[in-house]
Amino acid sequence: MEAIFIFLYVYVFVVGACIASFINVVIYRLPLGISVAKGRSFCPTCQHQLHAIDLIPILSWITLGGKCRYCKAKIPVRDTLLEVLGGLLGMLCFYRYGINWMTLISFVFAMILVAIGMIDLDTMTIPNSLIIACLIVTVISYPFIDLSIMDRIIGFLIVSLPMYAMNYIIPDCFGGGDIKLIAVCGLMLGWVHLLVGMFIAIVIAGSYAGYLMLSHKVDKKDHIAFGPYICFGLFVALLYGENLLQLYLGMFGL
């Protein structure tokens, strides 16, 4: 039995790394308006089409010494780290849910959030197509996440509506993509877990912004990408929101 689970974890890691390799394509192509469904993979530097041997997740980067086989340009290590992350996220979802549909749903959700977070980090925008992808996952997950319709409706509005209103008071204080992402994920997670996720996002983003200001790397008028922190918080809330909430309430004897 133990050998079977080891095999399953290895299998899940490999599948996760392969899907994350595709997510790298999405992260690169979507902001440039290039189709992610058509066309062979190519080197961004020399435009040479890549062959299957060049596209093996993690291993190709290692065997090629981190350089393009054709023009010797450096391959960003971030791409490989994201492939490793994809494998690890797959293992984490399997650890949390086991052989269950929620393993697949949570992993797909995680991969979409990775794409959103990285694109927002690179461009300060969140593509609507990825918001729609989150909405599709939300619909598919409906039978597997035990929440009332009211929990979902409140989740849709409880954070997104105040953020939308604040944009009228302080123009561009929140990105439209952030607001839409939170609204859609509120439908999936419900208002309680959404608040847990947003608490995590605000604490981490606020701490990082404070560090940047204290180190004079930004000033109070600058913007930072909030999407990566939202994505991290929402994913943690999906997997362990209830545990974290009980832990927090237990600190106050509630």
Name the residue ranges covered by the structural domains of the chain.
1-99, 125-254
pTM above 0.75, yes or no: yes
Q: How confident is the model at residue 212 (pLDDT cuts 50, 70, 90)?
A: confident
pLDDT tens string 158-192:
999 999 999 888 877 788 899 999 999 999 999 99
Rg, C-alpha atoms of the chain: 20
Per the model's pLDDT, the better-predicted residue between 43 and 104 turns out to be 104
**Burial class of residue 140, CB neighbours in 10 A (0-12, 13-18, 19+):** middle
Cα angle 207, 211, 215 (rounded to 5 degrees) comes to: 170
Q: How confident is the model at residue 1 (pLDDT cuts 50, 70, 90)?
A: low
CA distance 39 to 217: 40
CA distances from 27 to 46, 50, 77, 185, 243 (A): 19, 17, 14, 20, 32
- Whether 126 contacts 177, CB under 8 Å: yes
pLDDT tens string 13-49:
999 999 999 999 999 999 999 888 887 888 888 888 8
